[in-house]
């Protein structure tokens, strides 16, 4: 069940009705510290407009999320916080690990041996069949209403 704008915790943060340690704000995005960080310095970047999924956002609201995330990534690397690399992670749907149904990009400081990572299937690493890749690409193109090339 998707939360309505009224009881969405991230909308409450946008309205300053819930506490947050704010990192960055612009006209369409807000960034703040994750209250359950995967590593110290873990930031969430959200659109100010409520939308459960990326696809529900107006087009002009999508790009600024990555722009804000990029600026924060650069800052993390120079902040003095332990950060050898940065993961951007956006869970788009429950089965992808989304827990708060207001779009949010995780920006997470990483270092060698930090123990984080996507769990992958044991058969990952075999080269996919080209016919299968072409077939999957065709389905995605068709869904977008785009032709090949
Ligand atoms: Zn919301």
- Distance (angstroms) between ligand 1 centre and the Cα of 23 equals 18
Q: Which pLDDT score, from 0 to 100, does residue 1 have?
A: 47
Low-confidence ranges of the chain (pLDDT < 50): 1
User: In CATH, which of 3.30.428.10, 3.30.1490.20, 3.30.1540.10, 3.30.360.10 is domain 9-118?
Assistant: 3.30.428.10
Q: Which pLDDT score, from 0 to 100, does residue 118 have?
A: 81
- Distance (angstroms) between ligand 1 centre and the Cα of 7 equals 8
- Distance (angstroms) between ligand 1 centre and the Cα of 46 equals 9
Could you confirm whether 104 is annotated as catalytic?
yes
* HSE value, Cβ hemisphere, 13 Å, CA-based, for 5: 7
- Distance (angstroms) between ligand 1 centre and the Cα of 119 equals 28
* HSE value, Cβ hemisphere, 13 Å, CA-based, for 20: 24
List pLDDT tens digits, range 21-43. 999 999 999 999 999 999 999 99
Tokens, residue 26:
């612009």
User: Rounded to an integer, what distance in angstroms lies between the CA atom of residue 61 and that of residue 54?
Assistant: 9
Burial label, 113 (beta-carbon count in 10 A; 0-12, 13-18, 19+)? exposed
Residue ranges per domain, the chain? 9-118
Which residues, in sequence order, are CB contacts of 90 under 8 Å at separation 6+? 54, 103, 104, 105, 106
Exactly one of 42, 50, 104, 106 is catalytic; name it.
104
List pLDDT tens digits, range 123-143. 777 788 999 999 999 999 999
């Amino acid at each position: 069940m998707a939360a309505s704008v009224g009881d969405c915790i991230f909308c409450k943060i946008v309205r300053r009705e819930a506490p947050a340690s704010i990192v960055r704000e612009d006209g369409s995005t807000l960034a703040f510290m994750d209250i359950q960080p995967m590593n110290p310095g873990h930031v969430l970047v959200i659109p100010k407009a409520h939308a459960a999924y990326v696809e529900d956002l107006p087009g002009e609201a999508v790009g600024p999320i990555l722009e804000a995330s990029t600026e924060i990534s650069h800052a993390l690397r120079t902040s003095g916080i332990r950060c050898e690399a940065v993961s951007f992670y956006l869970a788009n749907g429950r089965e992808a690990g989304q827990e708060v149904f207001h779009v949010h990009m995780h920006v997470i400081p990483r270092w060698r041996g930090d123990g984080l990572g996507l769990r992958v299937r044991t058969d990952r690493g075999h080269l996919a069949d080209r016919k299968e890749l072409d077939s999957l690409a065709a389905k995605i193109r068709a869904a977008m209403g785009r032709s090949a090339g």
